[in-house]
Each structure stands twice: as C-alpha cells, then as structure tokens.
Amino acid sequence: MAAPNLAGAPGGQRPIRPGTRDEPDFSGLGGGEDQQADDIVREVVGWYNAQIIGERRAPVPDDERIEKLSLFFKVGPGQ
C-alpha cells in the first residue's frame, strides 16, 4: 500500500485534528460515501500503525522516523 500524504510523509501536510475546524465534515455525504470515508480513515490509521510497529520492532529502530510517524496521532492546540 502506498504511503498516505499526511504528517511524517512526503509533502509535509498537517494531520487532521479531530474536534477542530480541520476535521472534515462527512455528515452531508450520502449513499455509502460516508462508509467509504470511514474506510479510508481506517486505512490511513492502519498504515501509520503498521509503520510505527514495524519500526519499533526493527533491530535498530529509527527514533526520528517513529517520532515523525507518531505526529499523525498527536492532538492538541497549535500542533
């Protein structure tokens, strides 16, 4: 699976912050589009989790890469 273009990935885009104005609003989607959006979010979260777990299990973990990948999950003002 290709890497999503979010925090810690090439492109340097900021991650989406739940509960903020950055959070996408899927409420207006109809006919299965909301399920498709949920599936995409799950796929992105799964990709980040797999990358972090794989890096932590590596013989010599790359702490800098783990930190960059972990930025996707950090939530807070000004981040």
Q: pLDDT tens, 12-66?
A: 445 555 555 666 666 666 667 788 888 998 998 899 999 999 999 999 999 999 9
The predicted pLDDT at position 5 comes to 44
Task: Label residues 14-40 b or e (16+ Cβ within 10 Å = b).
Answer: ebeeeeeeeeeeeeeeeeeeeeeeeee
The predicted pLDDT at position 53 comes to 94
State the amino acid at position 78 in one-letter form. Answer: G
CB-based burial label for 7 (10 Å; 0-12, 13-18, 19+): buried
